[in-house]
Homo-oligomer: A and B are copies of this chain.
Amino acid sequence: AVAKSLAIGEGSVGVGVDHELISAVPSSNPTFVLRNFTDAEITYCRSQSAPAASFAARWAGKEAVFKSLGVASKGAAAAMKDIEILPNEAGVPSVRLHGDALSAAQSKGVSKVHLSLSHSENVAIAFAQAVSS
């Protein structure tokens, strides 16, 4: 009963914030896009009314998720593609981790990352919270 009850209460492992000028995210560069976004993310962003804003918000989201995991600076080799952000059935951005990002999360006891995105005409902002169950 205790264990079951405890599963209700998630613990906060870390938080992450990022903001980006939409014009600074090279979303019209195919090499950048293919290296950093999954096929499903690309399809989703291109279907939106403002694809550049969608890519920028998602890019800020990946950075925020990365920060929330509290792992050491990633450098050029980080696979941001391993942090996948897609809307769930309610339209809420949902995070799925793969590869190294998943390993990092598991080593920290992170079971879920909550994420929210916001963009205006010029700027995208993301906030992430990594939680343990």
B contact residues around A10 at 8 Å (CB): 9, 11-12
Contact indicator per residue, chain A 12-24, by CB within 8 Å of chain B (1) or not (0) = 1011111111001
Question: What separation, in Å, do the CA atoms of A129 and B115 have in the docked complex?
Answer: 10
Please, how many residues of chain A have a CB less than 8 angstroms from a CB on the other chain?
A: 47
B contact residues around A6 at 8 Å (CB): 5-6, 8-9
Copies in the complex: 3
Q: Determine if A70 is an interface residue (Cβ-Cβ < 8 Å).
A: yes
B contact residues around A38 at 8 Å (CB): none
30 A–B contacts, CB within 8 A, in A order: A2-B2, A2-B5, A3-B5, A5-B6, A6-B8, A8-B11, A9-B132, A11-B131, A12-B114, A12-B131, A14-B116, A15-B129, A16-B127, A17-B118, A17-B126, A17-B127, A18-B118, A19-B125, A21-B121, A24-B120, A64-B116, A67-B92, A67-B116, A68-B116, A70-B90, A70-B92, A72-B91, A73-B90, A73-B91, A127-B127
